[in-house]
Amino acid sequence: MTRFSKRSARSLLSSFALFLISVTLTIGCSNPASNMQTSTNPGSQAASPAAGQVRLGFSAWPGWFPWQVSQEKGIFQQNNVSVDLKWFDGYLESINTLTAGQIDANSQTLGDTVSSMTGGADQVIVLVNDNSTGNDKVIVRDGINSVADLKGKKVAAEEGTVDHFLLLQGLRKAGLSPKDIQFVPLETGKAAAAFVGGQVDAVAVFAPFTTQALKRSGSKELFSSKEFPGAISDHLVFTRKFVDANPDKVQAMVDSWFATIDFINANSDAAIAIMAKRAGVSVEDYKQYADGTKIFTIAENLKAFQPGNDMTSLSFAATEMSKFLTEVGLAKSAPDTSKLLDDRFVKAYAQKAQKA
């Protein structure tokens, strides 16, 4: 689901116009911080781990930078788990590395996880990190003041990622179609650079690339994921093989995540400094991301794992995403998502927290 062709994306709009407006299009929060280079050797960072280590992948997204805090503040060790934390300059590379079994866990979206399952991957979501509430944006040059003004303009985005689909949703809501713009498919970092360089009129990117894009004189946000609530969820995803063999380590990872969020809440200045450095942006720039990413509490995690009939329920969202993949021709048949979610680790943490 990460690499749609333009034809598939356009077909999506004609077949699923309303679906795009209301359904979770959790495709990917891809790629690196604005001053980093994309790796050209997929899986190169996935060397053999030390005995007993958990190999965890993450990439540039505000909802995943807390893992850097976990590492630097010894929170993994405090929870008795050894972690080989692997930074990926390219989000897509991290997905492929997990699918290949070269890491044990990854930070990725619901949509990309379901998409991986269509190719035969056996993966498990054990935690909700966050929802995007504005950190995915469509940014435009001076003189473009409405979505209608995008007609005939050059608009860049990484094809098939969440920001491409955010763009499509915005177009549809304004009564436009993909063929009304000149779509320029570029990797996210290159898309932001092309916009700053004046090569395109608009760009769809996620934080921290939003900071880079907004450096263009006269540029501004046209719309964001804030206008499409619940559209982008991000998760801690393990291979099923690892979960079955190491439930104690999975529990320790979930415990570490919530301990990290507690640390960030109690020590915001120190934590933000760590996350801003990993993001490659200033502390002040990083603080601007706060309202654009909703970090899930334990209560919100428990609720998300419950069955439901709207997109706030992960099981409902996964089923709808499976249908979506099939309808647009990206999967021959809908994958079985009945075993995708495993809430026992979140529940166990909640019980421990309640007793504490």
- Mean pLDDT of the 17-37 span: 33
Fold: same for 6-28+134-227 and 54-130+234-355: yes
Range of lowest pLDDT (144-153, 222-231, 239-248, 260-269): 222-231
Residue 114 confidence (pLDDT): 86
Q: What is the pLDDT of residues 78-125, one digit of tens each?
A: 999 999 999 998 888 999 999 999 999 999 988 789 888 988 999 999
The whole-model pTM stands at: 0.76
Q: What is the pLDDT of residues 245-300, one digit of tens each?
A: 999 999 999 999 999 999 999 999 999 999 999 999 999 999 999 889 999 999 99
**Is pLDDT at 27 greater than 90 in this prediction?**
no
Q: What is the CA radius of gyration of the chain?
A: 19
Rounded to 5 degrees, φ, ψ at 136 are -105, 125
Q: How many CB atoms lie within 10 A of CB 152?
A: 9
Per CATH, the number for 54-130+234-355 is 3.40.190.10
Residue 330 confidence (pLDDT): 61
- Mean pLDDT of the 5-19 span: 29
Share of the chain above pLDDT 90, in %: 64
Residue 119 confidence (pLDDT): 86
- Mean pLDDT of the 350-355 span: 95
* Helical residues (DSSP H) of the chain, grouped into ranges: 6-15, 17-22, 66-72, 75-78, 91-99, 110-118, 162-173, 188-196, 209-213, 240-245, 247-266, 268-279, 283-287, 298-304, 314-327, 344-355
Could you check whether the bond before residue 32 is cis, i.e. omega within 30 degrees of 0?
no
Range of lowest pLDDT (89-93, 136-140, 154-158): 89-93
Pairing of strands 154-157, 202-206: parallel
pLDDT confidence band for 33 (50 / 70 / 90): very low
**Is pLDDT at 34 greater than 80 in this prediction?**
no
Range of lowest pLDDT (30-34, 218-222, 232-236, 258-262): 30-34
Quick one: which of 119, 326, 112, 96 has its CA closest to 232?
112
SS3 108: strand
CATH class held by domain 6-28+134-227: alpha beta
Where are the chain's structural domains?
Answer: 6-28+134-227, 54-130+234-355
Residue 39 confidence (pLDDT): 37
